[in-house]
Amino acid sequence: MLWNGPVHSRLSTSMMRDRKPNILIIEKSEHCRNLYQAILSRHNLHVHLEENGKAALKLLQDGLTCSVIVTDYDLPDINGISLLDPIQKLSPDSAKILVSAMDESEIKFSHKNIAADFQFSNKPLNVKELIGIVLNEVHRNPLPSLS
């Protein structure tokens, strides 16, 4: 049997990548999605990006298991807080983070009936704060990643 170094390296790298925790980012701004991906992927996370709630729910319905789900409040098809309850049903063990330029108390007051538990982060984002929240939740909730 012949050993083929480069193939072995690719397989090992692929296997290691598949063990990264999955993070789902739901954000309408392509610039913000790309920024999240660039920052979070540096921390050994597999980042999935969606621009609207419908596409994100489809990913979860198709079986994506995420340690953390970050959603913007202002999405093109639904507001992020209204998205939290369907996400909770599809991915109850995932940590949820809502990001918004609105005040947290204003959002919680106007959406009192939301059952899902979530953390809140204000825009403009403090990148270090977001990384800290995500990494803390990943370590607290290391769900298996899909291969």
The string of pLDDT tens digits covering residues 86-138 is 999 999 999 999 888 777 666 665 655 665 578 878 888 788 888 899 999 99
User: How many domains are there within the chain?
Assistant: 1
The pLDDT, as a whole number, for residue 13 is 37
Tokens 């999955």 found at: 22
Range of the domain at 92: 21-140
Whether residue 43 lies inside any domain: the answer is yes
Confidence of residue 10 (pLDDT cuts 50, 70, 90): very low
For residue 99, being part of any structural domain is answered with yes
- Residues with Cβ within 8 Å of 66's Cβ and at least 6 positions away in sequence, in order, are 21, 22, 23, 24, 48, 60, 91, 94, 143
Does residue 9 sit within a domain? no
Q: Is 4 within the bounds of a domain?
A: no
Q: How many CB atoms lie within 10 A of CB 64?
A: 18
Whether residue 147 lies inside any domain: the answer is no
The pTM of this model reads: 0.79
Which domain CATH number covers 62? 3.40.50.2300
Distance CA 133, CA 82 (A): 21
Contact between residue 48 and residue 23 where contact means Cβ atoms under 8 Å apart: yes
14, part of any domain:
no
If you ran DSSP here, which 8-state letter would residue 74 be given? B
CA distances (Å), origin 57, targets 16, 34, 92, 121? 27, 20, 13, 21
Please give the Cα distance from 145 to 44 (Å, whole number). 12
- Is 7 within the bounds of a domain? no
The reply to whether 15 falls in a domain is: no
